[in-house]
Amino acid sequence: MLTFLLFAVGIVLITVVLAFFGLTEVVNVVTSANMEYLALALALQLVILGLLACRLIVISRRHERLSFFSAFRISMSGMAISMLTPIAKIGGEPLKIYLLRKKKFTGSEATAIIAVDTLAELASSLLVVLFVFVMFAEHVPGVIFSSFVVFLIVVAAILVVFLKLLLNPRWMRKLIRWTAKRISRASHARKKDYARLFYNAFNVLIKDRKILAGSFGISFITKLLEFARMWLVFAAIGSVLSWDVIVIVWSVILVLYLVPWLPGSLGLVEFFGAGTLVFFGLTSSAAAGGLLLDRFISFWFVLILGLLISTTMPLPKRLKK
């Protein structure tokens, strides 16, 4: 019920934002968009989703062989749940672990796989934003500049704590014992060294250069495809953006996702994303219309597809060997 309420609030805010930029003009921009370009942008988004499933396969292959169908469903289901939570990209991780455990992975292996998958996503995003910050700092709007700095500091801090926890079994053991004291059902964690089991499983993955190279390589490729998708969307409405503008706007949207807000930062992304595009010279209607189309492909389409897959497509009973 709360989720539906938050989405309703988000949709209302999007409507208010579109009205601010000129609702009639924005609608005209959207309805007159080149459908062939939009179809190509949608195809790129599907490729991105497929690559994220491949990343899960690459990381998990050291423990079990995961089929593409299973990896795609696990990835999409987790992604859909993350999009339903106020802070993007983390809410679906427990679901991914749960689904991997149903695929013959132990709890330690499943947690280690998702930890490496999350690490690859966070680290690659941080590096891309850092690159944009360094290379195009003088082009970033002043109101957004401080947000970039906060994003870099927060994500860097998260990564440091994340790695410290993952690479130090003593810290992990303390966390499990702290949890066990407060949750009676977790009391068995005192009898079995789950921290050491997780550390061993994670260590196997993190020391495999092929897994690291594959997971980070796929992560960076998905970022490049996201840039290309955004370029196609705006080309569909007759606005050809330069690549520096695209990467700056993409980074601004990523920074906005970190803000605790409504699911998918609804309203926030539309307003500040379109405002950044206006700063770079687009008309308000083109900025809002193009961003609305890109959000439909990158957020709404992915959310709906993820929910459909998680609720209507049964998982295979066995993994491919």
Whether 3 maps to a domain, the answer reads: no
The DSSP output letter for 317 is S
Whether 291 maps to a domain, the answer reads: yes
Q: Check residue 187 and give its pLDDT.
A: 44
CB atoms within 10 A of CB 242: 10
Cα 272 from chain centre: 19
Q: Check residue 236 and give its pLDDT.
A: 97
Whether 297 maps to a domain, the answer reads: yes
* Domain count of the fold of the chain: 1
Q: Check residue 25 and give its pLDDT.
A: 93
Contact 77, 92 (CB under 8 A): yes
- Give every residue of the chain whose pLDDT is below 70, as ranges: 1-2, 86-91, 137, 139-148, 150-152, 155, 158-159, 162-201, 260, 313-321
Q: How far apart are CA 8 and CA 173, in angstroms?
A: 42
b/e code 124-137 from CB counts within 10 Å (16+ = b) = bbbebbbebbeeee
Q: Check residue 166 and give its pLDDT.
A: 61
Whether 17 maps to a domain, the answer reads: no
Q: Check residue 316 and give its pLDDT.
A: 44
Whether 26 maps to a domain, the answer reads: no
Integer angstrom CA distances of residue 97 from 40, 90, 206, 263, 300: 33, 12, 18, 22, 24
Whether 93 maps to a domain, the answer reads: yes
Q: Check residue 90 and give its pLDDT.
A: 59
Q: Check residue 320 and give its pLDDT.
A: 41
The DSSP output letter for 6 is H
Reduce the DSSP state of residue 273 to 3 states and report it: helix
Whether 5 maps to a domain, the answer reads: no
Which residues are CB-contacts of 316 (< 8 A; sequence separation ≥ 6)? 67, 69, 70
Q: Check residue 176 and give its pLDDT.
A: 53
Whether 20 maps to a domain, the answer reads: no
With both helix axes pointing from N to C terminus, report the angle between 35-60 and 107-135 in degrees, rounded to the nearest 10: 130
Q: Check residue 299 and give its pLDDT.
A: 94
Residue range of the domain that includes 191: 32-311
